[in-house]
Structure 1
Amino acid sequence: MLLLHLSDIHFRKGEVGTAMDPNAHLRNELLLDAVAQCQKIGATPEAVLVSGDIAFGGDVDEYAYALDWLDKLCTQCGTTLSAVFTIPGNHDVVRNIAGRRLIQALHHDIKSASVAALDGVLRGLLSDPETLRLLYESIGPYNTFAGQFFCDLLPPERTIAHRDLVLNDGSILRVSGFNSAFVSSAADKAGDLFVDPACTQLIRERGVEHLVMCHHPYNWLRQGDVLRDFLNDVARIHLFGHEHTNRIEMGQDWVRIAASAAHPDRTEPGWEPGYNLIELSVDGQDGERKLNIRSHVRVWQQRPGEFRAKTHRGSDFFGQSIRLDAWTSPQPSQAPAAPTAPSVAVAADEPIKPEAARSDPMDTLRDISVRFFKLTLSQKSAIAGKLNLLEEEDANQPDFERFRRVFVRARDRGLVGDLDREIKEVAAKGR
């Protein structure tokens, strides 16, 4: 499995798409390098992980540009836009909303809570319909963007974005994206941001390995020490952004990667744009399984300008093997006696892929969702209404939540094919 990891792209309104965009050349070089590296590795990315700060100021136009560029990146790397998985960063927060007096009062209540009371305060605020709306209002444009990838966030039940990917032995890599920006504003400082209590409730399961993403590193979080100790026990890979400095730490049971910024400010000391490619494979079986991790850190050098590998003891990747818990792949299901479709011959020496432990319930919907979100609001509403996929209870929900419910209902009612057909017909008429 290959993962492409980006962070802190900072698409900035007034710059991106203009003749004087200071990062146009750099973005193009990153795209060219990513394509070349995928070809060199011999794999296409299973997921494109963006650990926050997609936008610079949380503006809808910034997300529109981000969508076009990510689409181009995914296509040229051999995958699709549905591979994108995102979390919010502090630049995805609309600052003039987060700075409102009532929201700042809520931030103050959280920041002034004692260590013992903090989880209770957060649970209370994120369970109350009015306060949860206020705390998440500032990432409204982000949620609209992230909704097409089913990475949108809405307390109290959906404060973490999840996606399951299938490793080569049929076990699951569970990607969990945290929101460390819901108490973010112009007043941010190290040690004064938060994650919600759900982030310390990931559970270990046989046949499931965890990869976690959080925009802010541990030193920026009030619960940073507690979160780090917890994740060291349950998660194999930890990805961060925000500080614009690439760094890899390898423990016995985990690998922690702090990403370079794809677009750091050129006035920053040690300006060093970059991104990461992460190869994963499982060797062995039953009680002798190991997760092999190869982290390719790509950094920008000047004179001559090009992306190159950050090296480790003469190697152009950072490698680690982590012993995994015992797990046996389920036996393949028995084929039906009378297949309804022609059988396909399999070469005798062709390996049979192990059956997955479980599959992501949104997998079949993600490609359709990306196409759906390219339609206008009126077109999306008309399709949902035609298929009776909107309910009265949706009326007061934000658009991203209403349309998420449309997809869940289509899946549950066996209408995914109908929804797909309607989307294609409307899109075709718009050409």
Structure 2
Amino acid sequence: MGEISFIHLSDIHFRRTSGNSYDIDRDLRNAVLMDIKYNLKKDVGNVNGILLGGDIAFAGQEDEYRIANSFLKEIAVSMGKGECNIYCVPGNHDVDQGITRQSRSVYVAQCDIDSAQNLDDADWILEKYMLDSSNPNLLYKPVEQYNKFAELYACNIDSKKPIWEKYFELDNNMKLKLVGLNSCIISNHDDHKEEGIDREMIIGQSQIPKYEENIVCVSLCHHPVEFWKFIDVVQDRIDKRIDVQLYGHKHEQAVSKTQERLVINAGATQPTRGKDWRPRYNWVSFECFLKDDDRHIRVKTFPRILSDDRDRFIPDKDNCDIGENYFIYELNIDKKRKKNLYDYEQCSFPPKESRIKEINLEEMTKEIGYDFLDLSDVQRLEIMSELQLIRDEYKGKSASQILDFVLADVKKKGCLEKFYKLIKKKQI
């Protein structure tokens, strides 16, 4: 079986005028197509389709999705295929705000949910609307055109199917479950009512995936968790159950790694031009392998960015491992499930205080590295300064880029245990 891979795009923002003779984004889309045609297969195998992280359209209009569908067919041709699988979720630009402005019933329902004081109440109100036999799909009216587009790929959503799930075979009796979440159920013309402030969205608890045997869970959602209401109630469950989380919306590429999960906030493929306009997209592959009798998931991500001269897409070296055109994240999936599901007394893992003495060096180093990345920039700098780990060539590079070199220096100096203790002290 080996690896399975996807092209990951977000925030394409097709307008009804896209594709005309004066469309300034035509060359950008062609750059994506050429990058896929000439570079994808050199680095990535077994491409299973395209992941669209929302904001496919600009105003949720039928013409915009027709143009988007044509572009996706062009991608399939660039991949050497007649067609390819598409997996998509809605973004706030896929909401037809004309409906939310003109339909009082839709707007009142959204405000009713938004007024809830806690997540349980929001879920209870949402359930009332979804079970209303007179109009169960009222809240899906604003994404009606999106749903017509998504239905072509079996990714449409409604009161009976608030999320979609797709399964893919991996090695070692493991499956990848791809879950499409809807973060736009209350999105409307009030989203940017306060200038510079995004209104928080609601992700109902019914969208949190359940635990399943032999499954690694990957989510596709438009709004990152910092844009969710009541996130303090669901953050822990999200991180425990969703191993790889793919988001969009912010138009900024950002990666966060912990022992529990990998989060990729994708840069926008076609955002509005401005001072910091740098279109991006990703190739992402997943592979399951055995190590010390545990199954591990390796996620290999190739971040792509438009070159300075706007001529082609190139590797985004600022978000790659040093010396590579990708970054790698590995997760011991069996260990994570045991940690989160077994009673503490039954769990085979020793208390945190003694783990540094009892687990093998390679595994321990990786875990310590993830803890190091979780610290603030100031905390990491303080630790590196105390242990004399700072090098001139690290200037301007992110912690994730220099992590492997820092860990190698720590082991070479024989100060791994002190490094570990300093991290734990900072965490406290």
Normalised by the length of structure 1, the TM-score is 0.71
What is the rounded CA distance, in whole Å, between the counterparts of 2:239 and 2:226 in structure 1? Answer: 15
Write the mapping of 1:101-140 to structure 2, written as runs, cut at 5 A: 101-115=104-118, 116-130=120-134, 132-140=136-144
Aligned counterparts of 2:109 and 2:247: Cα–Cα separation in 1: 26
Distance 1:80 1:87, change over 3 A: farther
Aligned residues: CA RMSD: 2.0
- Pick the aligned partner of 1:315 from 324, 332, 337: 324
Contact map agreement 2:44 2:283 (CA 8 A) in 1: no
Secondary structure, counterpart of 1:81 in structure 2: coil
Aligned to 2:333: 324
CA–CA distance in 1 between the matches of 2:288 and 2:86? 23
Match of 1:242 among 220, 236, 249: 249
Q: Give the direction of change, closer, same or farther, for the CA distance of 1:183–1:75 in structure 2 (3 Å limit).
A: same
* Maintained 8 Å contact 1:44/1:78: no
Kept in 2, the 8 Å contact 1:218–1:225? The answer is no
Residue 210 of structure 1: aligned partner: 217
Question: Number of paired residues?
Answer: 323
Q: Distance between the aligned counterparts of 1:91 and 1:304, measured in 2? A: 25
Give secondary structure in 1 for the equivalent of 2:331. strand
CA distance in 2, matches of 1:322, 1:252: 7
Question: 1:96, 1:176 → 2: CA distance?
Answer: 29
Q: Which residue identity is paired with 1:224?
A: I
CA contact (8 A) 1:191 1:219 kept: no
Partner deviation per Cα, 1:37-88 (whole Å, 9 max, x = no partner)? 3221152421210011111111111111111110110232134534111111
Aligned pairs for 1:142-161 (under 5 A) are 142-155=146-159, 157-161=160-164
1:319-364 superposed Cα distances (whole Å, 9 cap, x missing partner)? 11110228xxxxxxxxxxxxxxxxxxxxxxxxxxxxxxxxxxxxxx
Structure 2 counterpart of 1:12, one-letter code: R
Contact 2:219 2:246 in 1 (8 A): yes
Q: Which amino acid aligns with 2:87?
A: F
CA 1:227–1:306: 2 relative to 1, 3 Å = farther
Question: Alpha-carbon deviation of 1:197?
Answer: 2.5
Match of 1:163 in 2: 166
Partner AA of 1:209 in structure 2: V
SS in 2 for 1:48: strand
| Structure 2 residue matching 1:149: 3-state secondary structure | coil
**Aligned pair in 2 of structure 1 residues 278, 289: CA closer, same or farther (>3 Å)?**
same
Amino acid at match of 1:180: S
Per the alignment, residue 188 of structure 2 pairs with 185
Q: Spell out structure 1 runs of 4+ moving beyond 4 A.
A: none
Q: Which residue type is aligned with residue 143 of structure 1?
A: N
Deviation, 1:170, is: 4.4
- How far apart, CA to CA, are the structure 1 residues paired with 2:14 and 2:310? 25
**Deviation, structure 1 residue 187:** 0.8
1:89 touches 1:216 (CA, 8 Å); kept in 2?
Answer: yes
SS in 2 for 1:138: helix
Alignment-derived partner of residue 305 in structure 2? 299
CA spacing shift, 1:304–1:74, aligned 2, 3 Å? closer
Q: Which moved more, 1:303-312 or 1:270-279?
A: 303-312
Partner SS state of residue 298, structure 2: strand
Q: In the TM superposition, what whole-angstrom CA distance separates every residue of 1:91-124 from its partner, at most 9, and x where no partner exists?
A: 1111110222222211211111111422211222
Partner of 1:139, secondary structure, is helix
Give the conservation status (yes or no) of the 8 Å contact 1:232–1:254.
yes
Q: Secondary structure of the equivalent of 1:158? A: coil
| Amino acid paired to 1:272 | R
- Partner AA of 1:136 in structure 2: Y
2:179 is matched with 176
The answer to whether residue 203 in structure 2 is matched with residue 195 in structure 1 is yes
Closer/same/farther in 2, CA of residues 35 and 54 from structure 1, 3 Å limit: same
Correspondence for 1:410: none
Map of 1:29-428 to 2, 5 A cutoff? 29-79=31-81, 81-99=83-101, 100-115=103-118, 116-130=120-134, 132-155=136-159, 157-189=160-192, 190-200=198-208, 202-267=209-274, 269-284=275-290, 287-303=293-309, 305-311=311-317, 312=320, 313-325=322-334
Q: Whole-Å Cα distance in 2 between the matches of residues 51 and 254 of structure 1?
A: 18
Supply the distance in 1 between the matched residues of 2:171 and 2:72 (Cα, whole angstroms). Answer: 26
CA distance in 2, matches of 1:137, 1:97: 7
What is the TM-score normalised by the length of structure 2?
0.72
Identity %: 28
SS of the equivalent of 1:142 reads helix
Question: Which 5+ residue runs of structure 1 have no aligned equivalent?
Answer: 327-431
Secondary structure, aligned partner of 1:62: helix
Which one-letter code corresponds to 1:316 in the other structure? Answer: N
